[in-house]
Amino acid sequence: MSAPSPAGSLRAAYGDALVELGGRDPEVVVLDSDLAGATGTARFGERFPTRFFNVGAMEATMMSIAAGMSLGGRPVFASSFAVFAAGQAYNAVRQSICYQRANVKIVASHGGLLVGADGATHQMVEDLGLMRGLPGMTVIVPADAPSARAATFAVHDRPGPAYVRLSREDLPTVTDGSFAVGRAAELRPGADLTIVAVGALVARALAVAEELAQVGVSTRVLDFASVKPFDEPALLRAARDTGAILVLEEHSVLTGVGALVAATTAENYPVPVRRVGVPDIFGESGEPWALVDRCGMSMERIRDEAWELLRLKGKAP
Amino acid sequence: MGEAVPADRIPSLESQALEIRRDVVRMTYWAGSGHPGGSLSVADLLAVLVGDELRIDPARPEAPERDRLVLSKGHAAPALYAALALRGFLPRAELRSFRKLGSRLQGHVDRGTLPGVDASTGGLGQGIGVAVGMALDARLSARPSRVYAVLGDGECQAGTTWEALMAGGHYALENLVVLLDRNGYESDGATEAILGIEPIADKLRAFRYHTLEIDGHDVRQILRALATARETTSGPTAIVARTVTGKGVSFMENDHTWQARAPTRAEAERALAELGTAGEEAGL
Ligand SMILES: Cc1ncc(C[n+]2csc(CCOP(=O)(O)OP(=O)(O)O)c2C)c(N)n1
């Protein structure tokens, strides 16, 4: 294992990638709804003021406007916090963007509980379920800054609607930035157990895998940043090769990646699956990582679930 | 105000509006569902837009420089399909397929399935936002396209309608024209009894629209207002078109129960007779 890398800002990576795209593609425009300083789009606005539209605090209509701007093929990025981009604007995303097959890339910051102090109104843990349920939508959850950068370019190059969820918190660099839509990255090989992780919890997956290695358990870690399209072959290979899957996500377990993994394996290659994520509750104010711990995604809980799976396989005391 | 309207265009557009009304009755009867009231009220506006105002070409329905029409009240779909058929975008025989499985004529308009439809609508309060985006895109691309959005008055109760209107005014979109089908009714009754939108023209002016008030069943007034809008270069235009829900069919006029119900065969025959066709000619 390489030494942990310094934490990087996904939002800054997104903002920098936008500026690069703006230079490369004169058609690109960016919309924000009065959160440009927080989402990372302000950098684009400073550099390309005539192609930046801060439409004010109206997320649903921002999505309809973005759709209208994109129907001739122009790539349009639209940003806000996840709770507003996916929640407040849901039916505009559904009708104006997805049903119209609009070329709009929604990049939502402040996904999940890691928003911390702002509390439950700002902690979106249902967005992946909402967005992956929409026909034609691409859904990406980068685990670190290099992936956020790569995902920004990837959704630009891929025609049609996309939703990219970013964390507010800086996250350690865990990938080599070689993100590709539709492909799960194997961050660590393993034969006894697979951990499927997305976003901020990928780092915890790697940490637990390292601990397990100390006691002779070989753990495969898959970064499922591409939630839709979903790398089903990689998941089913993992099910066959390791016989047990633990899913980590900073999202509601009711509709998130764990639900998807459980359904996909149950249909194709049933193996024991455990889901670590947000149970059927709202978050609350608090220090971001303490909140994640308290809501059921602590290192201890992840270890317990890993051992439970190994016991089910008969591989543990 | 506006250019003089050549008199010869008027009878032709009036007869197109009448044809649209007949088709609305037929289509909702054939489908057994749909929204005749708000489709009849908007028939004259659509006859003039599709039949005269819009620079569109059925041979090149995707031409980038074309004008755009967003029917934000997407439930008036049969009126738009009838108008597009008259303009040659689809065979008239296809009108029979409205709302049927596999048809290009979806219950609410869909831009992906039928050439001539520029935006998919159905959920109210989104079309005007899409239209604002189209107008911004045209401006950025230096394309001459003009964008026309047709709104319902019940739709003016949606907050998103005003969000989008605010953006159109803020960006001073001179290439945007908003037409309000002010028929006075929505699904459950009169707008002013449910949640009043008046004084609507003042509100639109306050949102920075050059606002005109016309009789939305008078083809000459519609043509004149659209000409004025074309000459207005300081910002967007709003046309408040006073209309009658169910216009042209006596028993549907000013009766909100026709908002979303289809005529029976007997009702359709009566309606078509009032619209000047009977028997074989009614085409049921
Ligand atoms: C967001 C949304 N809510 C509810 C409806 C159901 N609905 C369809 S038509 C209608 C009334 C619309 O009234 P108005 O805009 O005045 O249309 P018109 O009377 O001109 O047909 C309603 C509530 C809808 N289509 N979209």
The residues spanned by each domain of chain A are: 7-173, 185-312
What parts of chain A have a pLDDT lower than 70? 1-6, 317
Residues of B in contact with A64 (CB under 8 A): 126-130, 132-133, 160, 164
Nearest to A71 by CA among B233, B110, B184, B107: B110
ipTM above 0.90, yes or no: yes
CA of B157 to the centre of ligand 1 (A): 10
Beta carbons of A92 and B129 less than 8 Å apart: yes
For residue B171, the distance in angstroms to the closest alpha carbon of chain A comes to 10
Same topology, domains A7-173 and A185-312? Answer is: yes
Q: What is the mean pLDDT of residues B21-47?
A: 98
Please name the member of B130, B166, B167 whose beta carbon is closest to the beta carbon of A96. Answer: B130
Question: CB contact, 8 Å: B142 with chain A?
Answer: no
CA of A66 to the centre of ligand 1 (A): 23
**A7-173 has which CATH code?**
3.40.50.970
Alpha helices in A141-255 (DSSP H): 145-157, 202-214, 232-242
Q: What is the mean pLDDT of residues B245-273?
A: 97
Q: What is the mean pLDDT of residues B104-112?
A: 97
Q: What is the mean pLDDT of residues B100-112?
A: 97
Nearest to B282 by CA among B43, B90, B23, B92: B23
Give the tens place of pLDDT for each residue, A98-128: 999 999 999 999 999 999 999 999 999 999 9
Q: What is the pLDDT of residue B5?
A: 67
For chain B, domain boundaries: 9-282
- The answer, yes or no, to whether residue B1 has pLDDT greater than 50, is no
Nearest to B118 by CA among B59, B75, B72: B72
Q: What is the pLDDT of residue A316?
A: 73
Domain range B9-282, CATH architecture: 3-Layer(aba) Sandwich (3.40)
Q: Which atom of ligand 1 is nearest to the CA of B35?
A: 21
Q: Which residues surround ligand 1 with Cβ inside 6 Å?
A: B 35, 37-38, 41, 73, 75, 122-125, 152-155, 181, 183, 185-187, 245, 259
Please, what is the average pLDDT of chain B?
A: 96
Q: What is the pLDDT of residue B4?
A: 61
CA of A80 to the centre of ligand 1 (A): 28
Give the tens place of pLDDT for each residue, A227-238: 999 999 999 999
Percent share of chain B, pLDDT over 90: 95
Give the tens place of pLDDT for each residue, B197-242: 999 999 999 999 999 999 999 999 999 999 999 999 999 999 999 9
The side-by-side arrangement of strands in the sheet containing B68-71 is B68-71, B147-152, B176-182, B237-242, B210-215
Q: What is the pLDDT of residue A2?
A: 44
**A185-312 has which CATH code?**
3.40.50.920
Percent share of chain B, pLDDT over 70: 98
Q: What are phi and psi of A11, to 5 degrees?
A: -70, -40
Q: Which of residues 119-138 of B touch A (CB under 8 A)?
A: 119-123, 126-137
